[in-house]
Amino acid sequence: MRLLVVNVNTTDAMTQTIAAQARAVAAAGTEIVGLTPAFGAPSVEGNFESYLAAVAVMECVRAYAGPYDAVIQAGFGEHGREGLQELLTVPVVDITEAAASVAMFLGRSYSVITTLDRAVPLIEDRLKLAGLDARCASVRASGLAVLDLEESPVQACEAIVAQARRAVDEDRAEVLCLGCGGMAGLDEQVRLATGVPVVDGVTAAVAVAESLVRLGLKTSKIRTYAPPLPKVLQHWPPAGA
Amino acid sequence: MRLLVVNVNTTDAMTQTIAAQARAVAAAGTEIVGLTPAFGAPSVEGNFESYLAAVAVMECVRAYAGPYDAVIQAGFGEHGREGLQELLTVPVVDITEAAASVAMFLGRSYSVITTLDRAVPLIEDRLKLAGLDARCASVRASGLAVLDLEESPVQACEAIVAQARRAVDEDRAEVLCLGCGGMAGLDEQVRLATGVPVVDGVTAAVAVAESLVRLGLKTSKIRTYAPPLPKVLQHWPPAGA
Amino acid sequence: MRLLVVNVNTTDAMTQTIAAQARAVAAAGTEIVGLTPAFGAPSVEGNFESYLAAVAVMECVRAYAGPYDAVIQAGFGEHGREGLQELLTVPVVDITEAAASVAMFLGRSYSVITTLDRAVPLIEDRLKLAGLDARCASVRASGLAVLDLEESPVQACEAIVAQARRAVDEDRAEVLCLGCGGMAGLDEQVRLATGVPVVDGVTAAVAVAESLVRLGLKTSKIRTYAPPLPKVLQHWPPAGA
Amino acid sequence: MRLLVVNVNTTDAMTQTIAAQARAVAAAGTEIVGLTPAFGAPSVEGNFESYLAAVAVMECVRAYAGPYDAVIQAGFGEHGREGLQELLTVPVVDITEAAASVAMFLGRSYSVITTLDRAVPLIEDRLKLAGLDARCASVRASGLAVLDLEESPVQACEAIVAQARRAVDEDRAEVLCLGCGGMAGLDEQVRLATGVPVVDGVTAAVAVAESLVRLGLKTSKIRTYAPPLPKVLQHWPPAGA
Amino acid sequence: MRLLVVNVNTTDAMTQTIAAQARAVAAAGTEIVGLTPAFGAPSVEGNFESYLAAVAVMECVRAYAGPYDAVIQAGFGEHGREGLQELLTVPVVDITEAAASVAMFLGRSYSVITTLDRAVPLIEDRLKLAGLDARCASVRASGLAVLDLEESPVQACEAIVAQARRAVDEDRAEVLCLGCGGMAGLDEQVRLATGVPVVDGVTAAVAVAESLVRLGLKTSKIRTYAPPLPKVLQHWPPAGA
Amino acid sequence: MRLLVVNVNTTDAMTQTIAAQARAVAAAGTEIVGLTPAFGAPSVEGNFESYLAAVAVMECVRAYAGPYDAVIQAGFGEHGREGLQELLTVPVVDITEAAASVAMFLGRSYSVITTLDRAVPLIEDRLKLAGLDARCASVRASGLAVLDLEESPVQACEAIVAQARRAVDEDRAEVLCLGCGGMAGLDEQVRLATGVPVVDGVTAAVAVAESLVRLGLKTSKIRTYAPPLPKVLQHWPPAGA
Q: Quick one: residue F66, left, alpha or beta (phi over 0 = left, psi -120 to 50 = alpha)?
A: beta
| Numbers of helices and strands, H then E, in chain C | 9, 8
Q: Is C236 on the interface with B (CB under 8 A)?
A: no
Inform me whether the pLDDT recorded for B64 exceeds 90. yes
Q: Is B60 on the interface with A (CB under 8 A)?
A: no
> Is C234 in a helix, a strand, or coil?
strand
Judge contact between F78 and F122, C-beta under 8 A: yes
Mean pLDDT of A182-187: 83
Chains E and D touch (3+ CB pairs under 8 A): yes
Q: Is residue F222 part of a domain?
A: no
Q: Is residue B234 part of a domain?
A: no
For residues B73 and B165, membership in a common domain is answered with: no
Q: Give every CB contact of residue B206 below 8 A, 6+ residues apart in sequence.
A: B3, B5, B22, B25, B26, B30, B32, B72
Q: Is residue F109 part of a domain?
A: yes
Q: Is residue F70 part of a domain?
A: yes
The closest CB to that of E129, out of F82, F129, F236, belongs to: F129
Q: State residue B148's pLDDT score.
A: 82
Q: Is B83 on the interface with A (CB under 8 A)?
A: yes
How far apart CA E142 and CA E156 sit, in angstroms, is 8
Interfacial D residues in 171-200 facing E (CB < 8 Å): 172, 174-175, 195-197, 199
Chains in contact with chain F (at least 3 beta-carbon pairs closer than 8 A) = A, E
> Is E5 in a helix, a strand, or coil?
strand
- Of residues B146 and F105, more confidence is placed in F105
Please give the ipTM for the structure prediction: 0.97
The closest CB to that of F224, out of E121, E224, E231, belongs to: E121
> Is C171 in a helix, a strand, or coil?
coil
Inform me whether the pLDDT recorded for C241 exceeds 60. no
Judge contact between B205 and B72, C-beta under 8 A: yes
Nearest-CA distance from B235 to chain A in Å? 5
Q: State residue F183's pLDDT score.
A: 84
| Residues from chain E contacting residue D207 (CB–CB below 8 Å) | 211-212, 214-215
Q: Is residue C168 part of a domain?
A: yes
In the predicted model, what is the mean pLDDT of chain F? Answer: 95
Q: Give, for all 241 residues of chain E, the pLDDT tens digit.
A: 999 999 999 999 999 999 999 999 999 999 999 999 999 999 999 999 999 999 999 999 999 998 999 999 999 999 999 999 999 999 999 999 999 999 999 999 999 999 999 999 999 999 999 999 999 999 999 998 877 877 888 888 999 999 999 999 999 999 999 988 778 789 999 999 999 999 999 999 999 999 999 999 999 999 999 999 999 999 999 986 5
User: Which domain does D54 fall in, by range?
Assistant: 2-95+203-214
Subunit contact E223:D131, Cβ cutoff 8 A: no
Inform me whether the pLDDT recorded for A240 exceeds 70. no
Cα–Cα nearest to F138, from F115, F116, F158, F109: F109
Neighbours of F213 (CB within 10 A): 20
- If you compute the radius of gyration of chain F from its CA atoms, what whole number of angstroms results? 17
Q: Is residue C120 part of a domain?
A: yes
Residue among F82, F114, F140, F220 with most chain E CBs within 10 A, to mutate? F82
For residues C12 and C89, membership in a common domain is answered with: yes
The letter for the amino acid at D109 is S
H/E stretch holding B217: none
| Residues from chain E contacting residue F41 (CB–CB below 8 Å) | 231, 233-234
Q: Give every CB contact of residue B60 below 8 A, 6+ residues apart in sequence.
A: B6, B35, B36, B37, B38
Q: Is F49 on the interface with E (CB under 8 A)?
A: yes
Enumerate the β-bridge partners of residue A136: A110
Number of residues written out for chain E: 241
Cβ-Cβ contacts under 8 Å between A and F: the total is 139
Q: Give every CB contact of residue A226 below 8 A, 6+ residues apart in sequence.
A: A86, B46, B118
For residues B118 and B160, membership in a common domain is answered with: yes
Q: Is F68 on the interface with E (CB under 8 A)?
A: no
- If you compute the radius of gyration of chain B from its CA atoms, what whole number of angstroms results? 17
> Is D26 in a helix, a strand, or coil?
coil
For residues D90 and D122, membership in a common domain is answered with: no
For residues E26 and E102, membership in a common domain is answered with: no
| Residues from chain A contacting residue F108 (CB–CB below 8 Å) | 220, 223-225
Nearest-CA distance from C220 to chain B in Å? 5
Q: What is the DSSP letter of B182?
A: G
Q: State residue C240's pLDDT score.
A: 62
For residues E116 and E23, membership in a common domain is answered with: no
Q: Is B114 on the interface with A (CB under 8 A)?
A: no
Task: Give the ranges where chain D is alpha helix by DSSP (H).
Answer: 12-25, 47-62, 81-87, 95-103, 119-129, 148-151, 153-169, 187-194, 201-214
For residues B46 and B70, membership in a common domain is answered with: yes
Q: What are phi and psi of B140, to 5 degrees?
A: -120, 145
For residues F74 and F157, membership in a common domain is answered with: no
| Residues from chain F contacting residue E220 (CB–CB below 8 Å) | none
Q: Is C169 on the interface with B (CB under 8 A)?
A: no
In the predicted model, what is the mean pLDDT of chain A? Answer: 95
Residue among A12, A219, A224 with most chain B CBs within 10 A, to mutate? A224
| Residues from chain F contacting residue A225 (CB–CB below 8 Å) | 107-108, 174
Subunit contact F214:A130, Cβ cutoff 8 A: no
H/E stretch holding E177: strand E175-178
Q: Is E240 on the interface with D (CB under 8 A)?
A: no
Q: Is residue B37 part of a domain?
A: yes
For residues C27 and C79, membership in a common domain is answered with: yes
What parts of chain D have a pLDDT lower than 50?
Answer: none
- For position D187, which CATH number holds? 3.40.50.12500
Bond preceding residue B197 cis, omega within 30 of 0: no
Inform me whether the pLDDT recorded for B50 exceeds 90. yes
For residues A150 and A173, membership in a common domain is answered with: yes
Cα–Cα nearest to B181, from B77, B46, B92, B75: B75
Cα–Cα nearest to C51, from D34, D78, E174: D78
Nearest residue of F to residue A201, measured between CA atoms:
F215
Q: Is D29 on the interface with E (CB under 8 A)?
A: no
For residues A20 and A84, membership in a common domain is answered with: yes
Judge contact between D140 and D111, C-beta under 8 A: yes
How far apart CA E149 and CA E128 sit, in angstroms, is 27
Q: Is residue D220 part of a domain?
A: no
Number of domains in chain B: 2
Q: Model confidence over A141-161: pLDDT tens digits?
A: 999 887 787 788 888 899 999
Q: State residue B240's pLDDT score.
A: 61
For residues A75 and A138, membership in a common domain is answered with: no
Mean pLDDT of B163-169: 98
Q: Model confidence over A220-233: pLDDT tens digits?
A: 999 999 999 999 99
DSSP-derived pairing of the beta strands B110-114 and B175-178 = parallel
Nearest-CA distance from B106 to chain C in Å? 4
The letter for the amino acid at A14 is M
